[in-house]
Chains A and B, each alone.
Chain A
Amino acid sequence: MLLLTTAVIAILGYLAGTRRALALSGGRSSTMHSRPGYYGSFVAVWTALPALLVLAAWLIISPAVINNVVRSDFPAEALAQSSATQSLNFGMIEGIARGLNALSPDETAQAERNPGDLRALMGGRGVAIAGDPEPYMVKAAIDLNRMRMLNSWGSTVGVLIVAVLGALISYRLIAPRFRARNRVEHVILGSLILASSIAILTTVGIVASMLTEATQFFHAIPAWEFFFGTVWDPRFAAAGSGGSEGQFGLVPLLLGTLYIGFVAMLFAVPVGLFSAIYMAEYASPRLRSVVKPLLEVLAGIPTIVYGFFALTTVGPFLRDISAQIAGLTTGNYTSFIQAQSVLTAGFVMGIMLIPYVSSLSDDIITAVPRAMRDGSLGLGATRSETVKRVILPAALPGIVGAILMTASRAIGETMIVVLAAGVAARMQINPFEPMTTVTVKIVNQLTGDLEFTSPQTLVAFALGITLFAITLCLNIYALYIVRKYREQYE
Chain B
Amino acid sequence: MSQVITPSAAPAAALGRPRRDIGIKRRYAAERRFRAYGIAAILFGLVFLFILLWSVVSKGYTAFQQTMITVPIEFSEQLIDPKNERASNPQKLLTANYPVLARNAVAKVLGVAETDRTAMRDVGLMLSDSVRSQLRDLVVADPSIIGKTQPVRLLASGDLDSAFKGQINLSVSENNRKISDRQVGWMNQLSEKGVLAKHFNTGIFFNGASSRPEAAGVGVALIGSFYMMLIVLVLALPIGVAASIYLEEFAPKNRFTDLIEVNINNLAAVPSIVYGLLGLAVFINFMGLPRSASLIGGLVLTLMTLPTIIIATRAALKAVPPSIRAAALGLGASKMQTIFHHVLPLAMPGILTGTIIGLAHALGETAPLLLIGMVAFVANYPTTPLDPSTALPVQIYMWANEAERAFVERTSGAIIILLLFLIVMNVGAILLRRRFERRW
Contact = CB atoms under 8 A, between A and B. Distances in A.
Contacts of B245: 192
Contact of B42 (A295, A312, A475): A295
Contact of A189 (B5, B46, B307, B336): B336
Contacts of A273: 41
B212 to A, nearest CB: 20
A382 B418 contact: no
Given A200-B263, A412-B270, A387 B34 contact: yes
B35 A282 contact: yes
Given A196-B251, A409-B269, A209 B278 contact: yes
Interface in B169-183: none
A385 interface: yes
A428 B235 CA distance: 46
A199 B243 contact: yes
Contacts of A75: none
Given A301-B52, A377-B4, A199 B263 contact: yes
A228 B186 CA distance: 63
B27 A472 contact: no
B250 A382 contact: no
Interface string A171-210: 0000000000100010011011111111110110110011
Interface stretch (B122-130, B279-287, B345-353): B279-287
A203 B273 contact: no
A200 B260 contact: yes
A99 B129 CA distance: 35
B38 A195 contact: no
Given A278-B39, A475-B269, A442 B371 contact: yes
A419 interface: yes
Given A209-B282, A309-B55, A414 B42 contact: no
Interface in A332-390: 351, 354-355, 358, 377-378, 380, 382-385, 387-388
B113 interface: no
B274 A206 contact: yes
B45 A275 contact: yes
Contacts of B286: 209
B278 A385 contact: no
A464 B360 CA distance: 25
Contact of A307 (B45, B238, B360, B400): B400
A185 B334 contact: yes
B331 interface: no
A295 B45 contact: yes
A405 interface: yes
Interface stretch (B71-79, B140-148, B203-211, B362-370): B362-370
Interface in B34-86: 34-35, 37-42, 44-46, 48-49, 51-52, 55-56, 59
B246 interface: yes
Interface in A276-328: 277-279, 282, 291, 294-295, 297-298, 300-309, 311-313
B131 interface: no
Contact of A278 (B31, B35, B266, B306): B35
Given A203-B263, A278-B35, A188 B375 contact: no
A274 B265 contact: no
Contacts of A476: 262, 266
B334 A181 contact: yes
A405 B269 contact: yes
Contacts of B242: 191-192, 194-196
B419 interface: yes
A302 B265 contact: no
B397 interface: yes
B259 interface: yes
A308 to B, nearest CB: 5
A243 interface: no
B250 A189 contact: yes
Nearest to A413: B271
Given A302-B418, A384-B35, A199 B260 contact: yes
Q: Is the interface of B mostly helix, strand, loop or mixed?
A: helix
B30 interface: yes
B267 interface: yes
A300 B273 contact: no
B266 A475 contact: yes
Contacts of A277: 38
A479 interface: yes
Given A198-B306, A300-B426, A309 B281 contact: no
B355 interface: no
B294 interface: no
Contacts of B51: 313
B103 to A, nearest CB: 34
A198 B30 contact: no
B1 interface: yes
B366 A304 contact: yes
B1 A377 contact: yes
B34 A384 contact: yes
Interface centre among A202, A313, A385, A442 (most CB of B within 10 A): A202
A270 B238 CA distance: 41
A196 B267 CA distance: 13
Contact of B52 (A196, A305, A472): A305
A388 B33 CA distance: 13
A307 B370 CA distance: 15
Contacts of A189: 246, 250, 336
A411 interface: yes
Nearest to B268: A475
A439 interface: yes
Nearest to A209: B281
Given A291-B46, A412-B272, A275 B38 contact: yes
B273 A414 contact: yes
Nearest to A273: B41
Contacts of B263: 199-200, 203
A308 B1 contact: no
A194 B239 CA distance: 9
Report the 4 A-B pairs with minimum CB-CB distance, sorted nearest first: A412-B271, A302-B364, A278-B38, A274-B41
24 contacts: A188-B336, A193-B246, A199-B263, A199-B307, A205-B278, A209-B278, A270-B41, A275-B42, A278-B42, A279-B42, A300-B360, A302-B422, A305-B364, A355-B45, A377-B4, A384-B30, A387-B34, A405-B269, A408-B271, A443-B370, A446-B276, A461-B281, A468-B270, A479-B262
Given A355-B45, A447-B373, 11 more contacts: A191-B242, A206-B274, A274-B42, A291-B46, A305-B364, A312-B400, A351-B45, A377-B4, A412-B270, A419-B397, A447-B370
Interface of B: 1, 4-5, 8, 27-28, 30-31, 33-35, 37-42, 44-46, 48-49, 51-52, 55-56, 59, 238-240, 242-247, 250-251, 259-260, 262-267, 269-278, 280-282, 285-286, 303, 306-307, 310, 334, 336, 360-361, 363-367, 370-371, 373, 375, 393, 396-397, 400, 408, 411-412, 415, 418-419, 422, 426
